Amino acid sequence: MLLAVDVGNTQTVIGMFERTELLQHWRLATRGDQTADEIALVFQGLLNQVGLSFDRNVSGVVISSVVPRVTQAMREMTERYFHFAPIIVGPGVKTGLAITTDNPKEVGADRVVNAIAAFTRYGGPCIVIDFGTATTFDAVSAKGEYLGGAIAPGVEVSTNALVSHGAQLRNIEFVEPRSVIGKTTVEAIQSGVIYGFAGQIDGIVGRMRDELGPGTPSIATGGLAPVIMPFTKAIDHHEPWLTLEGLLQIYERNTLRDED
């Protein structure tokens, strides 16, 4: 079985694949101070809950990470407990994706992985919106090239910044308020967050479609996608495990022998 891990700044998503089927998946808070041994304990606990183990079931590990310290700990954990090296998305790893930005090394591993999975599933051109620590918008061409995108502060990051800088403001639950015109401070913040981010999605996706072509499909992923999606007009598909699918494809490209 394949263990696929996507390490984000805020959350880490883990999946177990049996061939191409995603059997189990988990979403955890990312902790940058965990050692390789601590990560192993967490992973073993998750696998034990579903009757799996390091020794019997894991035959491969693929990782994308935007947190260098965690990347190193994941590498050490894999080598120490699985006794083989993981495939880590980065330079030297086959992705099958041409990156046409001015500096391809700047593009985050998660964005590359998402683009691969979206193009494989929906073809091109397409747009991927990932709701994470940042809200990222990635454009893929009709030929499957990564063209670039946009980065905006994420829903939770923006809300936390607002609350921390406002003496009379408070944390909120991410739910729809009674009306756009809030009758309380909480409802006013909820309105600004929910409808404000929905408007951002519609605006940026609309402008990308002006460049890519009308009808370009958009695919949403990330932990906070369900919060904003119901209030947008621009999102066509929701793929909560898109990044894991992309990791599976990268693993296959780097382990399966080319057929002559």
Give the model's confidence band at 259: pLDDT under 50 very low, under 70 low, under 90 confident, else very high: very low
Residue 93 lies in a domain: no
Residue 252 lies in a domain: no
With a pLDDT cut of 90, the percent of the chain lying above it is: 70
- Do 114 and 246 form a contact (C-beta atoms < 8 A)? yes
**Host domain of residue 8:** 2-88
Q: How far apart are CA 180 and CA 198, in angstroms?
A: 12
Q: Which residue has better confidence, 184 or 259?
A: 184
Catalytic residue among 6, 110, 130, 138: 110
Strands 87-88 and 60-65: parallel
Q: What is the predicted pLDDT for the residue at 44?
A: 92
- 182 is written with which tokens? 């809030």
pLDDT tens track for 110-125 = 999 999 999 999 999 9
pLDDT of 169 > 70? The answer is: no
Statement to judge: residues 58 and 172 lie in one domain? no
Q: What is the predicted pLDDT for the residue at 34?
A: 92
pLDDT of 257 > 60? The answer is: no
Amino acid (one-letter) located at 81: Y
Give the model's confidence band at 258: pLDDT under 50 very low, under 70 low, under 90 confident, else very high: very low
Q: How far apart are CA 137 and CA 128, in angstroms?
A: 6
CB atoms within 10 A of CB 213: 10
Statement to judge: residues 171 and 209 lie in one domain? yes
Q: What is the predicted pLDDT for the residue at 260?
A: 36
Residue 257 lies in a domain: no
pTM of the model as a whole: 0.89
pLDDT tens track for 220-230 = 999 889 999 99
Statement to judge: residues 142 and 82 lie in one domain? no
Tell me whether residue 33 is one of the annotated catalytic residues: no
Structurally, the chain folds into a number of domains equal to 2
CATH number at residue 60: 3.30.420.40
Mean pLDDT of 12-28: 93
Statement to judge: residues 9 and 125 lie in one domain? no
Mean pLDDT of 133-141: 95
pLDDT of 73 > 60? The answer is: yes
Residue 230 lies in a domain: yes
pLDDT tens track for 199-223 = 999 999 999 999 999 999 999 999 8
Mean pLDDT of 81-110: 91
